[in-house]
């Protein structure tokens, strides 16, 4: 079945009124997917002696690595975790890029008065390393990594933590932007609207069937879909 993954809001409503935009990191702002795939292949092959398919790897993106490696590696999970970051760390900038126009789009959001943040399942150290490498750290009012909450995507805790730190209390006025089913379910569980990016490497049919509020074809589409509400506090 074919689907329209264009930028039309799914429910055909007008712009949504929000006060903040929270972004996933991997596959949403940064094109880390090739590095993630390569590092998974290396780690699984070295520690477990086999290589998972890309489909298996992609299905785990959005959940904490410790959970993924615990599931597949059992007692070797911690060893896989260490190997993953040792192998990927020196390849951060050489194997990763920023998606087209996301930086000027976020700058424009901030100029228009929206609060902005990152909510990712990546470790804090790694998250800050990426943002510093691409000179993006100053673009965000809050950064929530896997280290900041006991519960993780698809549970709502990471998004609710970001809201608390932004001193916001109306989830309907906070938009989450992501590329994966774990992102979408996290937003739905938090009561937030969700925008799916069409440059996702994930299964678009699966993501579409889970009913994102709208899709964005390119970064600046987001600016055409939102309008600012007055501060809640």
pLDDT digit string, tens, across residues 79-115: 999 999 999 989 888 889 999 999 999 999 999 999 9
Where does a domain end: 45, 66, 91?
Answer: 91
Q: What is the CATH number of the domain that holds 24?
A: 3.40.50.1000
| Domain-located, residue 233 | no
**Residue 117 sits in the same domain as residue 211:** yes
Domain count, the chain: 2
Of 120, 181, 221, give the one whose Cα is nearest residue 194: 181
Q: What is the mean pLDDT of residues 187-210?
A: 96
Angle of helix 77-88 relative to helix 65-73, nearest 10 degrees?
130
**Residue 142 sits in the same domain as residue 191:** yes
- pLDDT of 227 higher than 70: yes
pLDDT for 63: 86
**Residue 165 sits in the same domain as residue 124:** yes
Summarised one tens digit per residue, pLDDT across range 13-44 is: 579 999 999 999 999 999 999 999 999 999 99
**Residue 51 sits in the same domain as residue 135:** no
Summarised one tens digit per residue, pLDDT across range 42-84 is: 999 999 999 999 999 999 988 889 999 999 999 999 999 999 9
55 three-class SS? helix
Q: What is the CATH number of the domain that holds 66?
A: 1.10.150
Which residues form the catalytic set?
Answer: 24
Q: How many helices (H) and strands (E) does the chain have?
A: 10, 10
In sequence order, the 6+-apart residues with CB closer than 8 A to the CB of 74 are none
**Residue 104 sits in the same domain as residue 181:** yes
Summarised one tens digit per residue, pLDDT across range 164-177 is: 999 999 999 999 99
**Residue 137 sits in the same domain as residue 147:** yes
**Residue 109 sits in the same domain as residue 203:** yes
| Domain-located, residue 23 | yes
Q: What is the mean pLDDT of residues 195-224?
A: 96
**Residue 27 sits in the same domain as residue 38:** no
**Residue 74 sits in the same domain as residue 141:** no
Quote the distance between the C-alpha of residue 195 and its chain's center.
11
Pick the residue with more confidence: 201 or 232? 201
Give the pLDDT band (50/70/90) at residue 11. Answer: very low
Strands 115-119, 97-98: pairing kind: unpaired
**Residue 140 sits in the same domain as residue 43:** no
Q: Is the separation of the CB atoms in 178 and 160 below 8 Å?
A: no
**Residue 69 sits in the same domain as residue 128:** no
Beta strands in 45-193 (DSSP E): 97-98, 115-119, 142-144, 174-178
Q: Is the separation of the CB atoms in 102 and 219 below 8 Å?
A: yes
The range of the structural domain enclosing residue 58 comes to 33-91
Q: Is the separation of the CB atoms in 10 and 220 below 8 Å?
A: no
Calculate the dihedral angle through the C-alpha atoms of 102, 158, 54, 136, rounding to the nearest 10 degrees: 30
Q: What sign for the dihedral angle of Cα 100, 110, 120, 210?
A: negative
**Residue 112 sits in the same domain as residue 140:** yes
């Amino acid at each position: 079945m074919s689907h329209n993954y264009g930028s039309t809001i799914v429910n055909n409503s007008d712009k949504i009124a929000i006060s903040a935009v929270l972004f996933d990191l991997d596959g949403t702002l940064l094109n880390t997917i090739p590095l993630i795939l390569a590092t998974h292949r290396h780690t699984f092959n070295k520690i477990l002696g086999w290589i998972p398919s890309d489909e298996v790897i992609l299905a785990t993106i959005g959940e904490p690595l410790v959970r993924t490696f615990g599931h597949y590696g059992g007692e070797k999970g911690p060893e896989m975790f260490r190997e993953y970051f040792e192998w990927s760390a020196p390849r951060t900038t050489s194997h990763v890029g920023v998606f087209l126009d996301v930086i000027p789009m976020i700058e424009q959001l901030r100029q228009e008065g929206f609060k902005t943040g990152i909510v990712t399942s990546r470790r804090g150290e790694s998250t800050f390393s990426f943002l510093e490498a691409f000179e993006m750290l100053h673009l965000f009012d809050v950064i929530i990594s896997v280290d900041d909450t006991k519960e993780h995507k698809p549970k709502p805790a990471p998004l609710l933590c970001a809201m608390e730190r932004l001193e916001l209390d109306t989830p309907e006025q906070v938009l989450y932007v992501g590329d994966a089913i774990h992102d979408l379910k996290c937003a739905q569980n938090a009561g937030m609207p969700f925008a799916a990016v069409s440059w996702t490497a994930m299964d678009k049919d699966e993501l579409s069937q889970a009913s994102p509020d709208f899709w964005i074809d390119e970064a600046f589409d987001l600016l055409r879909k939102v309008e600012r509400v007055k501060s809640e506090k």
